[in-house]
């Protein structure tokens, strides 16, 4: 890559990260979760965004926003979970906000599509949950994921495909979701 291409790439990433940051701030500002403890997390995320212009970048080591999605089948009775290799648990699909992502919902949808292999997912535009958890990222740095969670609906007859980011994929009845995804039980 030439120095000019490197500079242009960095400028594009900074502009996009700023757009994702502004969108995350707007989404969290208008969202009103019913559960008081989730609203406390929402308020903490807003404060963090106000303090950290790099909050949407995975290189923000104290912690950074991530976007995840609970993918429901067409009937809304089952959720697709991934057996995540880093946490060795069944969780919703999701991950980092990438430099090309300009919205939180767009990042959530991109991650869900990549990790499920399902095209045509329809994402609900408002979050359903938020949580902060410790994790060592792919950069090898212990950090915190400030995870904003969405719901998406798979088209009828959707068939999942395991990606390199997952050990396995499985559909779960909502009432039987594991504790790591307990927020999804309320959708049953």
pTM value? 0.90
First-residue to last-residue Cα distance in the chain: 50
What is the model's pLDDT at position 11? 37
What is the model's pLDDT at position 50? 98
What is the model's pLDDT at position 138? 65
What is the model's pLDDT at position 75? 97
What is the model's pLDDT at position 25? 98
Angle, helices 36-51 vs 3-30, to 10°: value is 150
Going residue by residue through the chain (188 aa), what tens digit of pLDDT does each one get? 454 444 444 433 454 579 999 999 999 999 999 999 999 999 999 999 999 999 999 888 889 999 999 999 999 999 999 999 888 899 999 999 999 999 999 999 999 999 999 999 999 999 999 999 988 776 677 889 999 999 999 999 999 999 988 899 999 999 999 999 999 999 98
Q: What is the CATH number of the domain that holds 30?
A: 3.90.79.10
Nearest-CA neighbor of 147 among 53, 51, 70?
A: 70
Report angle CA 23, 29, 30 to the nearest 5 degrees.
95
- In which domain, by residue range, is 74 found? 3-187
Task: Tell me which H or E stretch contains 111.
Answer: helix 104-116
What is the model's pLDDT at position 122? 99
Question: In whole angstroms, what is the distance from residue 109 CA to residue 28 CA?
Answer: 17
Counting the structural domains of the chain, the total is 1
Following CA atoms 118, 120, 125, 129 in sequence, which dihedral angle do they give, to the nearest 10 degrees?
Answer: -20
Question: In whole angstroms, what is the distance from residue 168 CA to residue 85 CA?
Answer: 9
Per-residue tokens: 158: 């959707």
């Amino acid at each position: 890559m030439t120095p000019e291409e490197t500079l242009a790439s960095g400028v594009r990433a900074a502009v996009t990260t700023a757009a994702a940051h502004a969108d995350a701030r707007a989404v969290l500002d208008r969202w009103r979760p019913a559960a008081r403890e989730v609203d406390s997390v929402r308020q903490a995320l807003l404060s963090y965004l106000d303090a950290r212009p790099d909050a949407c970048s995975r290189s923000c080591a104290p912690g950074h926003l991530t976007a995840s999605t609970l993918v429901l089948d067409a009937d809304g009775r089952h959720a697709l979970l991934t057996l995540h290799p880093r946490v060795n648990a069944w969780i919703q699909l999701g991950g980092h906000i990438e430099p090309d992502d300009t919205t939180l919902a767009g990042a959530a949808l991109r991650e869900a599509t990549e990790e499920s292999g399902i095209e045509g997912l329809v994402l609900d535009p408002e979050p359903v949950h938020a949580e902060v958890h410790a994790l060592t990222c792919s950069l090898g740095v212990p950090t915190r994921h400030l995870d904003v969670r969405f719901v998406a609906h798979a088209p009828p007859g959707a068939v999942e495909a395991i990606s390199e980011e997952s050990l396995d994929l499985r559909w779960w009845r909502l009432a039987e979701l594991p504790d790591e995804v307990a927020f999804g039980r309320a959708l049953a």
